[in-house]
């Protein structure tokens, strides 16, 4: 086949092109021709198709996501916000922390191990490109029913991929979630978060400035794996009876990435780069167009110089390949020799493939022939923007209140509690987390199953950060506006229970097809809710990800906004753990319980959903966070009450150190009696233990912050006694820990 050059495209304007097969709409193809004043070359068409995909261009979400800028609170801590590879915040003592969460959902369904592994690799490189050393990862996961055949197919591979890649990189996995729901069947969610640390002066940006500066591709060679990759795969629904786009999933090499990380950090330490970008979604198409667009605008690339694993790749395939472990840097010519020496030291392939030019176009040649001549901003940032139709879903009109058992006997209390804590969503997740190295590097302070992960930043001062991710998709299904608020508040509580102060927010917004007006209503309400609460609480959104088309046929996933919150703690040695540490402590509940089971796990195991999600009390939640931070020296343990309510929290707190508790649940302060006390998931509540000699001081602080305190009982013994229901910890542990091993071997 002859090369489709710019000259050929100009001379033969009527040549038919596969724009529809590449995922472009007719009006989008027409817009490309309007931009260029001619038909695109096949290489230009490849670039526009991947960069204008839903995954890369955010064309259906941009009109809503702008609220994060319009409603952005002032934050002295924010150093780099939305628009770069990851946000950066100041945590004091000259340190900056960068963190971000992204999705790799569709590739992980097609090829579970490599899809999950390369999801971890991609988010780690996003953190690396900011100039930071990656220090920890997290993995919020969602699957179909735990006993479904496809869940048994994808879950073991996804967990192995997350663990295998992260373990080989030497990065501790300090948190995440594993949630099961029927709507995720065929649409597992694999969200990956990474956090990194640097000094303020070491921050790097993705920009190409300086005429004559060189464009250097370094890292792994480019292969045929991942052609189209996530950029196309994540931009279409998996529909039965319809030919789906299934490009090759990327193949990861964590050992190559580990070497690339160390090589890059040495390069950064010597200040050898003007700008840097990783090659993730859309590969070289993305890296070159985004660097040029964010810089002076001109760039010339010689595509034949790109090192290839497969010499048969066409120019279009080279541009679309999402092969992993690759970076693109802008280097001053005077620094090239030193740059190359460092790459050689680490045995990292590095090749000059172009330079920054005076012009305003990105020009790419192949063996001397001009195959791309485009304004880079039209590729990278000025893609189509859709204000898609929005309609409130009709399912909201047919929701019914829950009708659940009353607990009238000790036998019923015990039976229902054991059923809850052995359900897949509440059961112990050690089968998953034991496959991850949680303590490599020696700076992990807290990890799963604690409320939030925590890592030490400075070994001398013990400065640290805590990170939590949360989402209650059933609440978001019932009320997406408040569901987003509730997810953020839960993440903030998880940070505060450890003694850390919430500082900044990232998010991964997972939804069905944006072409469904009901899904777009869910999305719009979610973004509105998240932007509103971040403004109210003074927490900046530093970046994130949107994942659409998580849908098989007409069945969309539950709206799942995974909210990540990062907090700072001045001394990690003073953190609070979730487990009961000793006998003879007072067991208290902070916050009131409401008689509402809608969206709760107890309702779920009884086959019910409910009708009304809780309404968040933001002022109370802020007071509760401030109470937890001020009362931290008085707390022996603290555990957020969320999924599974008090029943799950008591189970996890007692089993952590095998110390029991005697609990009395008076009905007078809980409208729903014992059932609500145990199983309601009312937000804004914390289970704490305190030494009796600190009880008066704790109650005084709670009164200061106007937070109700309820006395539940005492710690000690080898049973969990709730009213008259006696549950030996041995029996409790067996019920809590047996589920996942039984399901997955």
Eight-state DSSP code of residue 238: B
**Is residue 301 included in any domain, yes or no?**
yes
**Is residue 629 included in any domain, yes or no?**
no
Name the nearest CA neighbour of 56 among 102, 110, 111, 121.
102
Assess contact for 290 and 192: CB atoms under 8 A: no
Is the confidence at residue 236, as pLDDT, over 70?
no
Token couple for 494:
């998880």
For β-strands 501-510 and 560-569, DSSP reports them as antiparallel
Confidence class for position 239, pLDDT limits 50, 70, 90: very low
**Is residue 363 included in any domain, yes or no?**
yes
List CB contacts of 267: < 8 A, sequence separation 6 or more: 273, 329, 339, 342, 343
The most confident of 106-120, 545-559, 680-694, by mean pLDDT: 680-694
For β-strands 635-640 and 686-690, DSSP reports them as antiparallel
Half-sphere exposure of 633 (CA within 13 A, CB side): 4
Is the confidence at residue 132, as pLDDT, over 80?
yes
The helix (H) or strand (E) run that includes residue 123 is helix 112-128
Which residues make beta-bridge pairs with 566?
Answer: 467, 504
How far lies 342's CA from each of 203, 263, 268, 269, 331, in Å?
20, 7, 11, 11, 13
Confidence class for position 635, pLDDT limits 50, 70, 90: very high
Which residues make beta-bridge pairs with 89?
Answer: 78, 97
**Is residue 36 included in any domain, yes or no?**
yes
| Mean pLDDT across the chain | 93
Q: How many residues does the chain have?
A: 745
Which tens digits make up the pLDDT trace of 669-691? 555 689 999 999 999 999 999 99
Token couple for 215:
């464009």
CATH of the domain at 363: 3.90.650.10
Confidence class for position 2, pLDDT limits 50, 70, 90: confident
Distance CA 442, CA 292 (A): 40
Token couple for 706:
């106007």
Token couple for 368:
């001397």
Name the nearest CA neighbour of 420 among 227, 652, 577.
652
Range of the domain at 325: 1-70+205-383
Scanning the structure block, which residue is given the tokens 């939590």? Answer: 468
Is the confidence at residue 230, as pLDDT, over 50?
no
Distance CA 552, CA 558 (A): 12
Rounding to the nearest 10 degrees, give the CA dihedral for residues 526, 527, 528, 531. 120
**Is residue 720 included in any domain, yes or no?**
no
Is the confidence at residue 260, as pLDDT, over 50?
yes
Confidence class for position 1, pLDDT limits 50, 70, 90: low
Give catalytic residues, as residue numbers.
Answer: 55, 104
- Residue range 613-624: mean pLDDT, rounded: 97
Confidence class for position 248, pLDDT limits 50, 70, 90: low
pLDDT value for 591: 97
Assess contact for 694 and 634: CB atoms under 8 A: yes
Confidence (pTM)? 0.94
pLDDT value for 238: 42
Q: In 3-state terms, what secondary structure has residue 79?
A: strand
List CB contacts of 449: < 8 A, sequence separation 6 or more: 428, 429, 430, 433, 578, 652, 656
pLDDT value for 240: 39
List CB contacts of 305: < 8 A, sequence separation 6 or more: 351, 352, 353, 354
- Please work out, in degrees rounded to the nearest 5, the angle formed at the alpha carbon of residue 498 by the alpha carbons of 497 and 500: 100
122 vs 208: which has the higher pLDDT? 122
pLDDT value for 242: 38
**Is residue 609 included in any domain, yes or no?**
no
Scanning the structure block, which residue is given the tokens 């609070």? Answer: 576
Give the rounded percent of residues in the chain with a pLDDT score beyond 90.
Answer: 88
Judged by phi (left if over 0) then psi (alpha if -120 to 50, else beta), residue 599 lies in left
Which tens digits make up the pLDDT trace of 293-304? 888 879 999 999
Lowest model confidence (mean pLDDT) among 154-163, 277-286, 603-612: 277-286
721 vs 84: which has the higher pLDDT? 721
- Residue range 366-387: mean pLDDT, rounded: 94
Is the confidence at residue 227, as pLDDT, over 90?
no
pLDDT value for 145: 97
**Total of domains in the chain:** 1
**Is residue 179 included in any domain, yes or no?**
no
**Is residue 18 included in any domain, yes or no?**
yes
Judged by phi (left if over 0) then psi (alpha if -120 to 50, else beta), residue 706 lies in left
pLDDT value for 739: 98
């Amino acid at each position: 086949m002859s090369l489709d050059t710019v000259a050929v495209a100009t001379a033969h304007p009527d040549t038919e092109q596969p724009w529809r097969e590449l995922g472009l709409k007719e009006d989008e193809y027409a817009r490309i021709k309007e931009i260029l004043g001619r038909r695109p070359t096949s290489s230009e068409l490849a670039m526009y198709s991947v960069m204008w995909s839903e995954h890369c261009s955010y064309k259906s979400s941009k009109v809503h996501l702008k609220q994060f800028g319009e409603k952005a609170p002032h934050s002295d801590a924010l150093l780099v916000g939305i628009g770069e590879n990851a946000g950066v915040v100041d945590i004091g003592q000259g340190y900056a922390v960068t963190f971000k969460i992204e999705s790799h959902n569709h590739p992980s369904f097609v090829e579970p191990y490599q899809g999950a592994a390369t999801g971890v690799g991609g988010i780690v490189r996003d953190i690396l490109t900011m100039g930071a050393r990656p220090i920890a990862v997290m993995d919020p996961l969602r699957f179909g029913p735990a006993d479904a055949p496809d869940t048994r197919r994808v879950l073991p591979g996804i967990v192995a991929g997350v663990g295998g890649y992260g373990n080989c990189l030497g990065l501790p996995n300090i948190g995440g979630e594993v949630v099961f729901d029927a709507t995720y069947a065929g649409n597992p969610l694999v969200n990956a978060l990474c956090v990194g640390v640097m000094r303020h002066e070491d921050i790097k940006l993705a920009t190409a400035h300086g005429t004559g500066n060189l464009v250097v591709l370094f890292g792994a060679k480019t292969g045929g794996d991942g052609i189209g990759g996530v950029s196309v795969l994540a931009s279409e629904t998996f529909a039965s009876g319809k030919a789906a786009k299934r490009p090759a999933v990327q193949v990861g090499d964590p050992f190559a990435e580990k070497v690339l990380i160390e090589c890059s950090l040495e390069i950064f330490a010597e200040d050898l780069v003007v700008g840097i970008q990783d090659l993730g979604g859309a590969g070289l198409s993305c890296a070159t167009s985004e660097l040029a667009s964010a810089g002076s605008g001109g760039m010339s690339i010689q595509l034949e110089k790109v090192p290839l694993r497969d010499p048969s790749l066409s120019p279009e395939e080279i541009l679309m390949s999402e092969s992993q472990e690759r970076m693109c840097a802008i280097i001053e010519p005077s620094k090239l020799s030193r740059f190359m020496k460092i790459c050689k030291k680490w045995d990292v392939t590095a090749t000059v493939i172009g330079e920054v030019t005076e012009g305003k176009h990105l020009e790419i040649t192949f063996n001397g022939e001009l195959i791309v001549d485009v304004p880079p901003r039209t590729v990278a940032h000025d893609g189509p923007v859709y204000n898609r139709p929005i309609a409130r879903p009709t399912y909201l009109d047919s929701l019914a209140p829950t009708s659940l058992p009353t607990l009238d006997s000790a036998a019923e209390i015990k039976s229902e509690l054991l059923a809850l804590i052995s359900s897949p969503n509440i059961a112990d997740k050690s089968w998953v987390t034991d496959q991850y190295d949680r303590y490599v590097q020696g700076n992990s302070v807290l990890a799963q199953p604690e409320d939030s992960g925590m890592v030490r930043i400075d070994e001398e001062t013990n400065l640290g950060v805590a990170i939590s991710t949360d989402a209650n998709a059933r609440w978001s299904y019932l009320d997406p506006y408040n569901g987003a608020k509730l997810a953020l508040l839960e993440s903030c509580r998880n940070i505060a229970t450890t003694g850390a102060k919430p500082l900044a927010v990232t998010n991964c917004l997972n939804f069905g097809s944006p072409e469904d007006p009901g899904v777009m209503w869910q999305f719009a309400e979610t973004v509105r809710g998240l932007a509103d609460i971040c403004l109210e609480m003074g927490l900046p959104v530093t970046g994130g990800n949107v994942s659409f088309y998580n849908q098989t046929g007409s069945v969309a996933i539950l709206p799942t906004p995974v909210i990540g919150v990062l907090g700072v703690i001045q001394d990690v040695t003073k953190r609070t753990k979730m487990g009961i540490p000793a006998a003879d402590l007072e067991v208290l509940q902070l916050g009131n319980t409401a008689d509402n089971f809608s969206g709760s796990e107890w309702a779920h195991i009884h086959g019910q959903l409910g009708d009304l999600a809780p309404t968040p009390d933001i002022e109370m939640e802020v007071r509760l966070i401030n109470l937890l931070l001020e009362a931290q020296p008085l707390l022996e343990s603290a555990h957020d009450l969320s999924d599974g309510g008090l029943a799950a929290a008591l189970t996890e707190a007692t089993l952590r150190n095998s110390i029991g508790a005697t609990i009395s649940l008076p009905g007078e302060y809980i409208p729903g009696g014992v059932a609500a006390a145990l199983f309601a998931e009312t937000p804004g509540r914390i289970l704490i233990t305190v030494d009796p000699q600190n009880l008066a001081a704790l109650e005084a602080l709670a009164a200061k912050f106007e937070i109700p305190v309820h006395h539940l009982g005492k710690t000690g013994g080898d049973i969990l006694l709730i009213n008259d229901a006696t549950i030996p910890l041995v029996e409790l542990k067996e019920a809590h820990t047996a589920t996942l091993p039984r399901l997955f071997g």
